[in-house]
Structure 1
Amino acid sequence: MLSSRLPKDLSPSPFFAELERTKAAVLAECAVADGREGDAVGLSFIDMTVSSPVKAGLPIDLNAAVDEGRESFGCWNPDAAGWKSARETVVEYYRERGGNFDAGQIILTASTSEAYSVLFKAFCDPGDVILTPMPGYPLLDTLAQLEHLECAPYFLKLRRENARKLATDEIYDTRCFSTLVELSPMRRREGAAFRFVLDSDSLLAAPERAKILLLVSPHNPTGHCISREEWNEAVRFCEENHLILVVDEVFGDYAFSDKVSRTWQYVFNKNVIARNEATKQSLSNAVQEIASSAVHSRNDNSARENSCDNGPKCPIFWLNGLSKTVGSPQLKLGWMAFYAPDEQFEPIRAALEFVEDAYLSVSAPAQALARPLLANSAVYEARVKERLLQNWKTLREAFPAKYCPEVLGGWYAVVRLGEDDEELTLRLLREKHVLVQPGFFFDFDEDGWVVVSLLAPPEQFREAVSRMQVLDRP
């Protein structure tokens, strides 16, 4: 009766059923403890899986934004790509961060998940393959399955780097981890760091029916960010194999270092910014004003403003949205910004708009709120990043480097504690009242990994980490 798009068994796995029972028991125990007096009070429950700033005490102030956008809530102005005013707001969001898109390169969606669905419909046939990172977020497999597509993995590998020689090629085999007995910061190896990197050789195993290479940067859950070298390898692979390159950069605003680049900088900065600077120097202010007026008055379907000479030969899409930029997943507004070689640009845009026009799923209130919210996104970003960095520092100081790989950006970190991650997750919940996510949920290829969110209030995060440190061995 049900579609073959769906899993044959929709019931929760035995592990997650047990996890929910254990969580309910712990919450009940904590509720009873809260009613006791004095020393009888037990450990509080700490959720280290929270993925929403709203639930972590970091909501954005919606009142001013609602007041500013309210007049447009009742508008019905259907546009397959989304309101031009909202798309120009997204363009400004990129411009403030050094990007150089125009409104014709922006397609609005109701979410990043819907953006995936639109791309899958536009570029793939049933049975085609999406290349996804392992470890990685399991939602990607679900979205592909719902479109009758398959996922094939490429891999992120853990590399040991010496601070004195960051270019080392030495690969640290994660299977060599021994069980963690003592988690003292003194055990950290000075001058060494461990971080996940793209295993570009694993791309060579891609099936013939591969259509899309999906990069996630910053990566969920490892915190890996795509370097220029990795980017060049990925682009070259897509060009040689006629693939579409899709970059999920929903955590793009939350890099932990100024040395981390957004991947669209690798495409546009070298070609477009240099040309724009030369143009600015050669044009008088009056001519610039006339040119700008002409650009903004033209129709979106005309030739795009920032065609990129000698750019990549494959189409590239960057996915983002209000869910992470302003911590508001409930508003349901995402977008894709895209680049394509000149001869492919208009056919691709027409295909995307055809799919979007069948649904018109982006609401008027969401589009009306885009401008007032994104105008203040940098302030919100700084507020969230301060907490992320504080919690990452706490985690890094508590665990030796080889058990806690470096995080370059995003909201998550991973820790390897050296035992079965299912049992470890349940023991942390039962004994320490700390909820984490097991590594197998993200397809880590060995046991012992757990995933934690960096969004928790710092005092809660510090307490949870201290409990993780003293977890008794079985």
Structure 2
Amino acid sequence: MRVKFSDRFEYPFFPNRLFELASSAEGYVNLTISNPTTVGLPYEESLLDVFLERDNLVYRPDARGLERARRAVAEYYNRRNLSVSADDVLITAGTGDAYSYLFKMLCNAYDNVLVPQPGYPLFDHIAALELVELRKYELDYSHSRGWRIDFFDLEKKTDNRTRAIVLINPNNPTGSYVCRYEAESLARFASERGIALIVDEVFFDFCIGFVADRASFVASTDCLSFTLSGFSKILGLPQVKFSWIVTSGPSDCISEAKERLELISDTYLSASVPVQNAAPALFTAGHPIFGAIKERINENYVFLDKLFADSAVRLLRTYGGWSCVLELPRIMSEEEWTERLLLEAGVLVYPGYFFDFIREAYIVISLLPEHPVLREGIGRFVDFCKKHGIM
């Protein structure tokens, strides 16, 4: 029997060579790990107590999310002096769901959405499933100011079928925040063309050092904006599956946008009731994890910054998030760099092409590993470089 499947994306998928090598390798240090629950953070069993509530046995569905959960999200922003109402919040099971909802709402088949390059490789599959075309606008790097949006390239990629611009704030993996000037320029650009902004701020609270010039879009009124975040990152709890969309913008369009989102959400009702009931308590109980993550990423980044100062290996300036980027001498391709590091040095890193870096040679490493683990992996990397006359 031959069944015809959807042609939304090509199948079958094949594992890349680096994955195959890592699957058979032993004893390597993994510097790509991004799961906070597996890196020795101080999760307390008391976190489980927030789910022991009689109300969890009662099902009272609300397409927007339970009011207590939405109110807890609004209070999280209000504590940061960002004006958000519970009525502006819609709860989802994850940011992947949130993107899917927004692509459904904003795009007809084969409309296009602009996403940053470099950027996290999440959108290709979501866009394919929603029959949306992705167009990648470039981020440009200079050592003095870090990564900035190339507005000339953004203009070039935009046409009359562009329905949204996606921002990752701060970007993953570059760690670059959208500065206030960029935020104002983007809002003006989008408003003039009738384009929505989708702003993923899951890493927004994770500054590396002090960052003065960063702008959240959560309370923006200049254009229709949808700001995403969730417990996966801000509380280091990816397993609880609790995220949200905050709708903001001109009063004449946000009401319709919220009604349409509610209808889509009502079709799926995917967010867990026990997690929604626990949301207010989780914001408090999970705060020590947030603090531990922030302390660790800063400690690891300071170590790397000192180590690679005045080195042939350049650490690109990172302002926030859980990753950092190293620029390597172009004596071999990224593919060769990462494969030889794994096979000869016993350290696993990501090649830049996984994240659509425009040129070579870059590698991406996680700032989440415990500091001794990071030191061990970076030590192996440095020894490899010295052996080959690079450092």
Q: Which residue of 1 aligns with 2:320?
A: 409
Residues 1:421 and 2:372 are matched in the alignment: no
CA–CA separation in structure 2 for the residues paired with 1:338 and 1:451:
32
Alpha-carbon deviations, 1:35-94, whole Å to 9, x = none? xxxxxxxxxx21111111101112533534534553232220110000000100111111
Structure number with greater CO (CA < 8 Å, separation at least 6) is 1
CA–CA separation in structure 2 for the residues paired with 1:242 and 1:327:
35
Q: Which residue of 1 aligns with 2:388?
A: 473
Q: Which has the larger radius of gyration?
A: 1
TM-score (norm 2): 0.92
Q: Which residue of 1 aligns with 2:233?
A: 324
Q: Which residue type is aligned with residue 89 of structure 2?
A: I
Shift of the 242–221 alpha-carbon distance from structure 1 to 2, 3 Å rule, reads: same
Residue 6 (structure 1) aligned to one of 6, 9, 12: 9
CA–CA separation in structure 2 for the residues paired with 1:223 and 1:64:
29
Within 5 Å, which residues of 2 pair with 1:270-309? none
Residues 1:335 and 2:244 are matched in the alignment: yes
Residue 349 (structure 1) aligned to one of 258, 266, 282: 258
Residues 1:211 and 2:163 are matched in the alignment: yes
CA–CA separation in structure 2 for the residues paired with 1:156 and 1:62:
42
Deviates more, 1:336-345 or 1:99-108: 336-345
CA–CA separation in structure 2 for the residues paired with 1:199 and 1:390:
31
Structure 1 unaligned regions, length at least 5 = 31-44, 162-193, 269-310
Residue 152 (structure 2) aligned to one of 201, 204, 207: 201
CA–CA separation in structure 2 for the residues paired with 1:400 and 1:343:
51
Shift, 1:454, TM fit? 0.1
Residues 1:91 and 2:71 are matched in the alignment: no
CA–CA separation in structure 2 for the residues paired with 1:25 and 1:356:
42
Question: In the alignment, is the contact (CA less than 8 A) between 1:126 and 1:147 conserved in 2?
Answer: yes
Within 5 Å, which residues of 2 pair with 1:97-176? 97-161=80-144
Alpha-carbon deviations, 1:284-334, whole Å to 9, x = none? xxxxxxxxxxxxxxxxxxxxxxxxxxx30x211110011001111111111
CA–CA separation in structure 2 for the residues paired with 1:319 and 1:66:
27
Q: Which residue of 1 aligns with 2:346?
A: 433
Identity %: 33
Q: Which residue of 2 aligns with 1:19?
A: 18
CA–CA separation in structure 1 for the residues paired with 2:207 and 2:66:
29
Question: In the alignment, is the contact (CA less than 8 A) between 2:116 and 2:139 conserved in 1?
Answer: yes
Alpha-carbon deviations, 1:245-296, whole Å to 9, x = none? 011011111012241434137x56xxxxxxxxxxxxxxxxxxxxxxxxxxxx
Q: Which residue type is aligned with residue 20 of structure 2?
A: R
CA–CA separation in structure 2 for the residues paired with 1:258 and 1:415:
21
Shift of the 439–219 alpha-carbon distance from structure 1 to 2, 3 Å rule, reads: same
* Secondary structure of the structure 1 residue equivalent to 2:304: helix
CA–CA separation in structure 1 for the residues paired with 2:52 and 2:255:
31
Alpha-carbon deviations, 1:3-24, whole Å to 9, x = none? 1212243222xxx2x3233223
Shift, 1:366, TM fit? 1.5
Shift of the 348–24 alpha-carbon distance from structure 1 to 2, 3 Å rule, reads: closer
TM-score (norm 1): 0.76
How many residues get paired? 378
Q: Which residue of 2 aligns with 1:63?
A: 46
Shift, 1:376, TM fit? 3.6
Q: Which residue of 2 aligns with 1:297?
A: none
* Secondary structure of the structure 1 residue equivalent to 2:53: helix
Within 5 Å, which residues of 2 pair with 1:357-372? 357-372=266-281
CA–CA separation in structure 2 for the residues paired with 1:323 and 1:73:
21
* Secondary structure of the structure 2 residue equivalent to 1:54: helix
Shift, 1:377, TM fit? 4.2
Structure 2 unaligned regions, length at least 5 = none
